[in-house]
Amino acid sequence: MTLTETLNSAAIILSTAGITNARLDAEVLLAHIIRKDRVWLITHRDDVLGDNPQQDFDDAIRRRIRREPLQHIIGSQEFWGLEFKVTPDVLIPRPETEFIIEAALAIVHKRNQQVRIIDLCTGSGCIAVSLAKELTSANVIATDASEKALAVARENARNHGVADRIRYLEGDLFDPLEELDIRGQIDFIVSNPPYVRAGDMATLQPEVKDYEPLMALIAGPEGTEIAQRIIKHATEYLKKNGALIMEMGLGQAEALINMVEATGTYAKPEILKDLAGIERVLVARKV
């Protein structure tokens, strides 16, 4: 079959299996397998796909039908204009998490100023690496409870040339930092923590609940348990006017604002909405 016929057939199969954006997924998978871009597919639509690539493509389509995430099949995801390796050991970077990067950059006066950053629940390292790329004199400490996630994060840091400015520590939230003399010295604490309520797990898409790490998704019965711990302890490490910048789940803004105000150590928090108008990121400055 030609490339067009191959893609048309795959798109029908994926669509019948309930996959949204079936044609796009088919194009991304085929482009990955033959190591070309999607523009090349269009300009070579009448080319015939060889037997070996066809078999690999068929295998990829079967994996996608089982609702395995596209990013796991191709092994990467773009975030902040950078390509990040992803595996089942890390949360797949989402576009809405880029608002954390935007919020931090909006506070910084010069991209080459020296700042110290803590990235909690770093996962793939997408936040830490993106900030290190943008802020050329930044030094980052990134923590995660998963050793396997940290291995992925380290590889991403090496791939983007910032490994010398990011220190990765294994442990729960602030626990790995207790022995470091950095209290009151941090400019930013950033985090995309788990924020899904345990009772909502069954409502998630199969790509999420069946393939992504539960420890990166589930926070507890309320969904705000991890965020509450971060809010409570962040001011121990932030310098005056330092900022906590944290992603949150749908409908959690009011609860998190109340937590921030209850500490008495932050100024009035700011809530940033994503492109869908959903309250997505909390920004709280230490006073």
For 266-273, what is the mean pLDDT? 96
| Residue pair 201/218 in contact by the 8 Å Cβ criterion | yes
Is the pTM of the predicted complex or chain greater than 0.75?
A: yes
- The confidence score (pLDDT) of residue 199 equals 93
Query: Residues 6 or more apart from 72 whose CB is under 8 A from it?
Result: 86, 87, 88, 92, 211
Determine the pLDDT at residue 51: 80
Q: What pLDDT, on a 0 to 100 scale, did the predictor assign at position 1? A: 84
Per-residue confidence at 21, pLDDT binned at 50, 70, 90?
A: very high
CA distance 243 to 87: 30
Distance CA 176, CA 166 (A): 14
Quote the tokens at residue 78: 């773009």
Q: Average the pLDDT over 28-35 and give the result.
A: 95
Average pLDDT, the chain: 95
pLDDT tens per residue, range 144-193: 999 999 999 999 999 999 999 999 999 999 999 998 999 999 999 999 99
The reported pLDDT for the residue numbered 42 is 87
In angstroms, the CA 245 to CA 179 distance is 23
% residues pLDDT > 70 (the chain)? 100
pLDDT at 113: 83
Alpha helices (runs of H) in 66-198, residue ranges in sequence order: 70-74, 98-107, 126-134, 147-159
Percent of the chain clearing pLDDT 90 (strictly above): 91
Q: Kindly tell me the sign of the dihedral angle through the C-alpha atoms of 185, 123, 233, 263.
A: positive
Per-residue pLDDT at 112:
81
Contact 70, 25 (CB under 8 A): yes
Residue whose C-alpha is closest to residue 159's, from 132, 121, 190, 119:
132
Looking up tokens 């290190």 gives 132
Mean pLDDT of all residues in 55-61? 96
What pLDDT is recorded for position 49? 87
Using DSSP's 3-state secondary structure scheme, residue 205 falls into coil
Q: Are strands 238-247 and 218-220 parallel, antiparallel or unpaired?
A: unpaired
Which pair of structure tokens corresponds to residue 284? 């709280």
Helix ranges (H only) for the chain are: 3-16, 22-34, 38-43, 51-65, 70-74, 98-107, 126-134, 147-159, 206-209, 225-237, 253-263
